[in-house]
Chain A
């Protein structure tokens, strides 16, 4: 076993409402949706019309510039709406689910005997390709590339993150089949990055066909981008692929069962949930039935698909995002606070020790979505460095993005970062700068310039 890499820079934000490892039943969701906005940089082309009948695994839309990449329906049923926004941009393709899911049939085969091309073809056809993402740029991988390596992070250190051991309980066989398929896709190694303190299950320690690396430490230790940086940093011209363990299971199911089965466990967590726990659901599900009767209602709330750092706000009858394994519910906090900046602040969380809450380091906080201040120009320095465990100068990188200096962005490491890696920079920023938006903007600019 290799040595353990300890990530020291970063910040664990202790929030109230961690999900108990209990699987609760919720009423089945009736509607499901796939949102093109979950895939940065994608231009979707619809393949189905309203009222069409689809099976689970049938393509709903595809990538205009790479038509092999399909985005499949998670369930069988009827397309009931294609919701569009400004300039007819597709926002959601909504499906009314059948009572019993009908699956489109795909080839059932042992990935170990299939060739690389056959595996790629199966993944593309079934819509599972959308789960394979690449660095640089944090977008869906290009099928024609051969990555230098594939990275899977087996743990999540984000606030209130789902326990991946628990998510993959009883999925060991499918997980291994998925790994076998992925290992075929690269000439390099398939890395499985585990955390000895969080990953106790045999699913990971017993995984074959992979190179296991160990990481411990504070968030963002679980971010695959940070792990890549410490294993084999991204240089210009290189491509690596990343995928999450839950999604490796989907790939495994395709080869073992021959179907597009994207049912998954999710964590319902956050301070505004009565009893935070796990639920069995299917990707893209409407969260209405999951949330029904589970929320405290003493205050205005915010429902987030994903975690509090990188997730997206959804409405109480919105849909689970494509890549997310958790729903977080926190107070909205859209209220004024009298002399809030001057109070001792025992209930406030800050990386700095400017609030007296630092006296209680193990307290779990109930944080809301208030900005706690106004947007300002950069004043403080060195804050970002404390929460980015990479040899990247985050503040200088963000400034180079602000002035859209392509050369400088490239030199300062835009290929190594994804917005999620700098999410903590955004959290700690005294000037409340939207770092993640800026990083995505920089990445979009790079894609445009480099193509």
Chain B
């Protein structure tokens, strides 16, 4: 490694002020600090610092996403071969290879486009390249349908990085979760590619139904009595498959088990807020319960509250999206409220508005918007306690 360090030290002046490539300083430093933790020491304040930094933090989140990614790769192959009726004749490796061939290009496009823009912005502003996109770049592919055209992924990613993040000043300044901005853009700009039956399964056979459980569930609204029960039995009763993830859906969102493994990693390392994760699930469950109690249509009556938590992007959103510290609530008390409302609203929108079966995305974006307001009231509470103290002692 000494040779590499020497090489970098030799080239470094070229990229600093007055050097030949001074314009590329940010890019050079991004690579340099990726390879080597810099030699900067503390000169004011605490002399020792916690070993954690943003690179470590972000790489832990990426690690937590890997179970969902691996399952997504397998499930892509699984759903494809299932739809064409070849599942029994295909071995495990072929399924994985098929999934990998489908998914890898989406990941590459997301990272190349996103990091490209990040580097360009850092360069323009003379800033350091921030680590935030390492996570966004992985989240974006996992919430895309497998049949998403690559150019649409590229446009959505570019929109998310520029409008979702850079216009606000970069990582740490954005008000919405950038990955969800990408998905929302995709959803509204190219709706035909993110809804219906044909986009969730790669190269699906025409005869095979590729609807997601959420789409089936939305159909429950219009049917009554025995027909509803039959529909439920046919498409929604296999909760084990739903929990494990053998259902059509966005690439990384289907397997609740894989997502929970990620949740364990995030909570155990202290990176993800358990307060948010738990309260999102609680909020969803409570809304589901309310629907069960009130009733009104088959969707409300037949789907048990807990089933909402394993359908669609609910779990993925709760664990990986709602927990984004930048766009989420920042105060401890605010996190409970913020999380609860995300879960609550997600199930509410999902059940009442058939047009938006995937309500998790909208619910999180909405609560991202309101997170500063929630924090404002929590902060005011703290201020009021302090003022009250004066009155008591006076």
Known contacts A374-B53, A379-B54, A427-B50; A351/B270 CB under 8 A? yes
**Distance of A351 from chain B, by nearest CB (Å):** 6
Question: A-B pairs with the 10 shortest C-beta distances?
Answer: A373-B53, A377-B172, A340-B37, A348-B51, A341-B55, A336-B36, A381-B330, A352-B270, A337-B37, A436-B45
Q: Does A112 contact B (CB under 8 A)?
A: no
B48 touching A13 by the CB < 8 A rule?
yes
Our pick among A304, A340, A352, A385 for the contact of B50 (Cβ within 8 Å) is A352
Q: Does A431 contact B (CB under 8 A)?
A: yes
Binary interface encoding of chain B residues 363-394 relative to chain A, with 1 for a CB under 8 A from any of its CBs, else 0: 00000000000010011001101110110010
Q: Does B331 contact A (CB under 8 A)?
A: yes
The secondary structure that dominates the A interface is loop
Binary interface encoding of chain A residues 327-371 relative to chain B, with 1 for a CB under 8 A from any of its CBs, else 0: 010101111111111100100111111110100000000011111
For B170, give the chain A residue with the smallest CB separation: A377
Q: How far is the CA of A310 from the CA of B47 in the complex (A)?
A: 8
Q: Which of B56-64, B73-81, B179-187 contacts A (4 or more CB under 8 A)?
A: B56-64
How many residues of B sit at the interface, in one of the four size bands? 35 or more
Q: Does A313 contact B (CB under 8 A)?
A: yes
Known contacts A370-B39, A374-B128, A431-B54; A393/B48 CB under 8 A? no
**Distance of B60 from chain A, by nearest CB (Å):** 5
Please indicate the chain A residues that have their CB under 8 angstroms from the CB of B36 in the complex.
Answer: 336-340
B172 touching A335 by the CB < 8 A rule?
no
Interface-central residue, A159, A308, A355, A380, by most chain B CB under 10 Å: A380
Q: Does A41 contact B (CB under 8 A)?
A: no
Residues of A at under 8 Å CB distance from B?
13, 15, 159, 233, 235-236, 302, 304, 308-311, 313, 328, 330, 332-342, 345, 348-355, 357, 367-374, 376-382, 385, 391-393, 395-396, 411-413, 423, 426-432, 434-437
For B37, give the chain A residue with the smallest CB separation: A340
Q: How far is the CA of A332 from the CA of B393 in the complex (A)?
A: 48
B172 touching A430 by the CB < 8 A rule?
no
Known contacts A412-B379, A412-B383, A431-B54; A369/B39 CB under 8 A? no
A372 touching B45 by the CB < 8 A rule?
no
A430 touching B382 by the CB < 8 A rule?
no
B47 touching A369 by the CB < 8 A rule?
yes
Q: How far is the CA of A423 from the CA of B44 in the complex (A)?
A: 11
Q: How far is the CA of A342 from the CA of B173 in the complex (A)?
A: 26
The secondary structure that dominates the B interface is loop
**Distance of B176 from chain A, by nearest CB (Å):** 15
Q: How far is the CA of A352 from the CA of B273 in the complex (A)?
A: 12
Please indicate the chain B residues that have their CB under 8 angstroms from the CB of A353 in the complex.
Answer: 268-270
Known contacts A330-B47, A371-B38; A235/B52 CB under 8 A? no
Known contacts A349-B50, A352-B271, A437-B44; A376/B37 CB under 8 A? no
Please indicate the chain A residues that have their CB under 8 angstroms from the CB of B172 in the complex.
Answer: 376-379, 431
**Distance of A328 from chain B, by nearest CB (Å):** 8
Known contacts A337-B36, A371-B42, A436-B44; A379/B49 CB under 8 A? no
Binary interface encoding of chain B residues 16-50 relative to chain A, with 1 for a CB under 8 A from any of its CBs, else 0: 00000000000000000101111111111111111
Known contacts A235-B389, A391-B382; A339/B50 CB under 8 A? no
Residues of B143-189 whose CB lies within 8 A of A: 169-173
Please indicate the chain B residues that have their CB under 8 angstroms from the CB of A332 in the complex.
Answer: 41
Known contacts A340-B36, A342-B59; A372/B47 CB under 8 A? no
A334 touching B41 by the CB < 8 A rule?
yes
B393 touching A354 by the CB < 8 A rule?
no
* Listed A/B pairs (30) with beta-carbon separation below 8 Å: A235-B393, A311-B47, A313-B47, A332-B41, A338-B1, A338-B4, A340-B36, A341-B53, A341-B56, A351-B52, A352-B269, A354-B60, A370-B49, A371-B42, A371-B49, A372-B52, A373-B38, A373-B56, A374-B38, A377-B171, A378-B172, A380-B325, A381-B325, A391-B386, A392-B382, A423-B45, A428-B52, A429-B50, A431-B172, A436-B45
